[in-house]
Structure 1
Amino acid sequence: MTPDQLSDHVLTAARDVFVARELDPSVLPAAVTLERPRNPEHGDYASTLALQLAKQVGVAPRELATALADRLGRVPGIKSVEVAGPGFLNLRLEAAAAGELARLVVQAGPAYGHSRTLAGQRVNLEFVSANPTGPIHLGGVRWAAVGDALGRLLRAAGAEVTTEYYFNDAGAQIDRFAQSLLAAARGQEVPADGYAGDYIDEIAAAVAQRQPAVASLPDEEAEQVFRAEGIELMLAEIKQSLADFGVRFDVFFNEKDLHERGELAAAVTHLREHGHVYEHDGALWLRTTDFGDDKDRVLIRGTGAPTYFLADCAYYYDKRQVRGFDRVVIMLGADHHGYVGRMRAMAKCFGDDPDQTLELLIGQMVNLLRDGEPVRMSKRHGTVVTLADLMSAIGVDAARYALARYSSDSPIDIDIALWTRASRDNPVYYVQYAHARIASLLRNAAELGVVRGDEFDPALLGHEREHDLLKALAEFPQVVATAAELREPHRIARYCEELAGTYHRFYDSCRVLPQGAEPATELTRARLWLVEAARIVLANGLTLLGVTAPERM
């Protein structure tokens, strides 16, 4: 019996009690939430439903809980229901009912944990979006790991997700990038506000090789060549490094397309129709203070040049009005807190409710350490630690897991020694080792000629450690749904670590395979079903994080 099935039984019992007592059924929830007690003596699951409803229907909580317990005690598969304290319900399952979960997991395979909780939502998920003026730095790498994991989670919860990378390939930062390349190609000092690092020299040399005539062009024309060619080369390097990290976007969106397709003008027209655009001192403004912003925002300067904010407006307009996404999720760095208020106000100026259509997630800083000291910066990339640096230092799996393991609103330190250690202190090793340990057991079973078979007796899985493992496996769908709803992939990592520990304790207490000349028994086969279920859930959890589930370590 799964937690969802048990929740349905509790809700059905509540409806029956309400009918029998002629109580108002409108107060009943659409679904019942069950908790897993910290103390195993309090049962497998607990419900506070009686406490929640008692006051609304004028019945003492313990009296209502007792009525619910009596009704639930007649449900097949429920071993016992106890009323505790002021009206808590503590439920225990029969071994056979609990053991059936192993069958459900194995039959579902990679789909176990998936749901339809977010079905019908079209979500645009934008993350990383580093300017094409240099490689992806460590802060952007965090969003690459977390954003990709979040996209997987949202899809697992039933949402239709488009992952997107936005290239700011228009504006002053691109001018400085082109000027830096031109200076490097001509052996001049990089402008004071330009970009430094050996990668600038490398790209400049590559542009000169691709376009030999650029050396004889006037500065203004040469700068245009370095702009176009340099961006193309930088984008190719960014895309390759992301692919090496296991991150592949559905859409790469260029800012210049907004300009070329006339979407800046379309956004202004739309905003004007909603009555929030005005002119002042020769500039065009958006009255965002009507919706809580600290000041109004300029859309078009007095010179006629559009602002970055107008591009932001047009990009949001494109996602919502042109492409029809229900929800726009944007992941931003720690220095973008001031961005939230103006973007929410902008959404309201478009006539949207930002609580429904716009999410801005802020991530905190990441530090890479060796022996407790910050890692020295790469000369090639100037003054930043890059995605390539991190992959080289600890590997893709450890990097993705380390970055996704913590809540994004918390700064993190990634210690190279810890994340490359082959020990239980290393969280990703600990989880991957549990999966590899199960894979090894299953190989040994095959070598012994012991097969799981098509059927097993779930009632045989009655050992305390088997029961613990089954309860942990049962939690996975709710963990996935909650992680998706709260946009918190770190919940998956922490769950996987708990599941790995639960499996190791099971393995140490419950012998699975026969020894010597012992024959395989029905218990052997039942436990093979259980360990295969544990392997599947570990693999599914790691997959949601974009981390491999190795067969051998």
Structure 2
Amino acid sequence: MPVAETIRQALARSLDEAGIKISAEEVLLARPKELSHGDYATGVALQYAKQVGMPPVKLAEKIVAGLGELNGVKSVEVVAPGFINFRLTPDAINTVLGEASANEEAWGKNNSQKGSRVMVEYTDPNPFKEFHIGHLMSNAIGESISRLVEYSGAEVKRANYQGDVGPHVAKAIWNMRENEIAQGMFIHTIGSTATSYVLGAARYEENPEVKKEIDEINRKIYTKEDPAINRLYDIGRKQSLEHFEGIYKTLDTKFDHSFFESETAPFGKKVVEEHPEIFEKSDGAIVYKGDEKKGLHTRVFINSKGLPTYEAKELGLAKIKYEIYPYDKSIVITGNEVNEYFRVLLDAMSKVYPELASKTVHISHGMMRLTTGKMSSHTGDVITGESLIEELKERATARAKESRADDADKLAEQIAVSAVKYQILRQASGKDIIFDRERALSLEGDSGPYLQYAHARAHAVVEKANSQGVTLKIFGNSEPNDVSRLVTRFSEVVLYATNELEPHLLVNYLIGLAGAFNSWYAQVHILDGTKEAPHKVAIVNAVRATLKNGLCLLGISAPEKM
């Protein structure tokens, strides 16, 4: 039985003797932030002191007195104002350390979601527009959450939902057509198509006649009645999707399903029209009147031109997803600018498809900003995802060429991607990010490359030990250091991050582990020829496995040489 479960059961029994009846599962047991406070801690005495009419410290002392001997626990202490701290035995810690060192592939995995079917939708760039750095946020968060959920035993399907119809497409096609009129045999490229959107969007706002033309193009995109428009549409869509696939490859993302608004729009419109008891007509449009008591606004689902809006398309998407893959949970990751739209959508879905609404989890992220502020693809003030990665790659190239890596170009790209992903994942999903290029590439701490370098350092030590014939070995009675104690927390951190759907919890743990390891590495001679060397190498190997698996869960590569 895991030591944590032993402690929980003992606490539940002791609490029962004190007149507090709770199950072992209800006992709150946590890992203290400070290692000096022990390996586990609980505040149950603070939680229930008022219920039994005792001061928290006195109740804590009574609980401890009733615990008896606990297998794997070295000591228990009461700390004001009523916390109970547990320190584990060397053997208990070293046993887990041995599991990390010997069973790398399974290290950190759990079966908390075994048998569950989960679809995660993320990234969602729009054809005819740039893949901007905001899409990097959705991709980094979605890929990490997908990996965490998979690591917990669930079957995960990755989905990408792309807006291949809508006003933005019409604006791009209008300018693509203008280019052909002005220049004859105009060769459309991915760059010119994205630029066409920016120019078309500007003309749409400036010129009423152009606005009418673009609105008509938008209608024809849905009806597919105009061969000339269909041709331009096919060119732009194909170029965009091929371009996006190259970016996904760089980011190490492979989608199982791709959904498009051109597919969800007609179905979503049909669903809305079939439920007049839920959606009602208003000024030529069809709307959903949000419940003001819930703070929901009225939203248009089909506009006055008869075209489905974002909300109607999303409603149709939920059903289309489920028909393709009957999920137990659908996780949808978007920017926080659509939070209010999504609240209304989920409320409407709860009436149309109540079962699907109950299975849907919406996670929103903040915006990524540079020193110039928020980007706008509408005005062309955009830093594209690939340009940011390429810039960081160029900055990392010199360092990569001086490394031990066999492929300096590949390493430079791995460093660039890790720099971006780490800065996105290092904080809770809903917060905005001010992206700092220098900090992102730093090897001094709190960066993706810093974690990669710590892993490469650990790998080099193990590689050197192997070359010297030093066989790693765990000594059960060896007094654990802070590094060993941190390694044992990995599985619990993975489970916690998965349950909360918050990768930053894992990031915080990994940066702490890397810092502790680097500090220890600087203070001790690992391959010193003493009888302790095999145990020290085993600690390093456990760190290596933990960093490797942890980086993988963040969607970041773990180079062996840097």
Deviation, 1:392, is 0.5
2:2 aligned counterpart, secondary structure: helix
TM superposition shift of 1:313: 1.6
Change (3 A) 1:525 1:296: same
Q: Is 1:7 aligned with 2:4?
A: yes
Worse-superposed segment, 498-507 or 154-163: 154-163
- Please point out which of 534, 537, 551 is paired with 1:542: 551
300, 316, 319: which one aligns with 1:317: 319
Letter matched to residue 119 of structure 2: N
The answer to whether 1:434 aligns with 2:439 is no
Asked if 1:163 corresponds to 2:158, the answer is yes
Q: What is the Cα deviation at residue 412 of structure 1? A: 1.8
SS in 1 for 2:435: strand
Alignment of 1:408 with 2:432, yes or no, is no
What residue is the counterpart of 2:383 in the other structure?
385
Shift of 1:495: 1.6
Q: 1:526 to 1:51 in 2, by over 3 A?
A: same
Give me the whole-angstrom Cα distance separating, in 1, the residues matched to 2:427 and 2:12.
41
Map Cα deviations across residues 313-358 of structure 1 (whole Å, 9 max, x no partner). Answer: 2112333566433333222224324323322322232253898433
SS at match of 2:331: strand
Q: 1:41 to 1:73 in 2, by over 3 A?
A: farther
CA pair 88-299 structure 1, distance change in 2 beyond 3 A: closer
Cα distance change, pair 330–61 in 1 and its aligned pair in 2 (3 A): same
Contact in 1 for aligned 2:126/2:164 (Cα 8 Å):
yes
Going from structure 1 to structure 2, the CA distance change for 1:118 and 1:84 (only over 3 Å counts) comes to same
Distance 2:548 2:49 in 1: 42
Q: Does structure 1 residue 500 correspond to structure 2 residue 514?
A: yes
Question: Is residue 406 of structure 2 the alignment partner of residue 397 of structure 1?
Answer: no
Which AA in structure 1 matches 2:451?
V
Cα distance in 2 between the residues matched to 1:7 and 1:22: 21
Matches within 5 A, 1:472-491: 472-491=486-505
Equivalent residues of 1:72, 1:81 under 8 A apart: no
Could you give the per-residue CA deviations for residues 187-226 of structure 1, whole angstroms, max 9, x where no partner exists?
369xxxxx996455899xxxxxxxxxxxxxxx94322101
* Contact 2:164–2:237 under 8 Å retained in 1: yes
For residue 362 of structure 2, what is the aligned residue in structure 1?
360
Q: Which amino acid aligns with 1:537?
A: T
Count of residue correspondences: 507
Residues 29-108 of structure 1 aligned to structure 2 (within 5 Å): 29-38=24-33, 40-56=35-51, 61-62=56-57, 64-108=59-103
The correspondence for 1:183, drawn from 168, 171, 178, is: 178
Kindly tell me: are residues 322 and 198 of structure 1, through their superposed partners in 2, closer, same or farther at Cα, counting changes over 3 Å?
A: closer
**SS of residue in 2 equivalent to 1:166:** strand
Find 1:530's aligned residue among 539, 558, 561: 539
Counterpart for residue 438 of structure 2: 417
1:265 to 270, 273, 276: 270
Measure, in 2, the Cα distance between the counterparts of 1:552 and 1:361: 36
Identity %: 26
Give me the whole-angstrom Cα distance separating, in 2, the residues matched to 1:221 and 1:236.
22
Aligned pairs (5 A) from 1:368-383: 368=370, 382-383=380-381
**CA-CA distance at 1:291 after TM superposition:** 7.2
Tell me, yes or no, if the aligned pair for 2:268 and 2:308 is still in contact at 8 Å.
Answer: no
494 and 301 in structure 1: CA distance in 2 versus 1, 3 angstrom threshold: closer
Cα separation, partners in 2 of 1:419 and 1:37, compared to 1, 3 Å = closer
What residue in structure 2 maps to residue 207 of structure 1? none
What is the TM-score with the length of structure 2 in the denominator? 0.80
Q: Give yes or no for contact 2:365–2:431 (8 Å, CA) kept in 1.
A: yes
Residue identity in the other structure for 2:136: V
In structure 1, list runs of 5 or more residues that go unmatched. 190-194, 204-218
Pairing 1:240-255 to 2, within 5 Å after superposition: 240-255=246-261
Contact 2:331–2:363 under 8 Å retained in 1: yes
Answer with 180-189 or 339-348: which moved more.
180-189
Instruction: Compute the displacement of 1:472 (Å).
Output: 1.0
Q: Verify the 8 A CA contact 1:82 1:89 in the aligned structure 2.
A: yes
Q: Deviations over 1:68-114 (max 9, x none)?
A: 42454512332111223354212122222222121121233132222
Q: Distance in 1 between matches of 2:518 and 2:297?
A: 57
Is the 1:73–1:79 contact (alpha carbons within 8 Å) kept by the matching residues of 2? no
In structure 1, distance between residues paired with 2:338 and 2:196 = 31
Q: What is the identity, as a one-letter code, of the residue corresponding to 2:7?
A: V
User: Which of 476, 485, 490 is equivalent to 1:458?
Assistant: 476
Shift in alpha-carbon separation, 1:151–1:318, aligned structure 2, 3 A: same
Mean Cα deviation higher: 290-299 or 243-252? 290-299
SS in 1 for 2:489: helix
2:403 is matched with which residue? none
Q: Deviations over 1:333-388 (max 9, x none)?
A: 2432432332232223225389843333332222346xxx789999xx95311111
Whole-angstrom distance in 1 between the partners of 2:376 and 2:62: 67
**Partner of 1:109: helix, strand, or coil?**
coil
Which residue identity lines up with residue 384 of structure 1 in the other structure?
Answer: V
Contact 1:35 1:46 in 2 (8 A): yes
Cα separation, partners in 2 of 1:331 and 1:87, compared to 1, 3 Å: same
Which residue number corresponds to residue 137 of structure 1?
Answer: 132
Partner of residue 332 from structure 2, selected from 303, 310, 330: 330
Q: Deviations over 1:298-319 (max 9, x none)?
A: 4344554433432222112333
> RMSD of aligned C-alpha atoms?
3.4
TM-score scaled by length of structure 1: 0.82
Distance 1:302 1:547, change over 3 A: closer
Rounded Cα–Cα distance in structure 2 between residues aligned with 1:166 and 1:142 = 15
Aligned residues of 1:138 and 1:366 also touching (Cα < 8 A): yes
CA distance in 2, matches of 1:140, 1:476: 29
Report what 2:107 is aligned to. Answer: 112
Q: Which blocks of at least 5 consecutive residues in structure 2 are unaligned?
A: 198-224, 393-415
Q: Secondary structure at the match of 2:481?
A: helix
CA–CA separation in structure 2 for the residues paired with 1:175 and 1:375: 24
Q: CA deviation at 1:535?
A: 0.7
Corresponding residue number in structure 2 for 1:513: 527
Structure 1 residues 377, 77: CA separation in 2 closer, same or farther (over 3 Å shift)?
Answer: closer
Q: What SS class does the counterpart of residue 429 from structure 2 fall into?
A: coil
CA gap 1:360/1:18 in 2 versus in 1, 3 angstroms: closer
Secondary structure of the residue that 1:111 maps to in structure 2?
A: coil
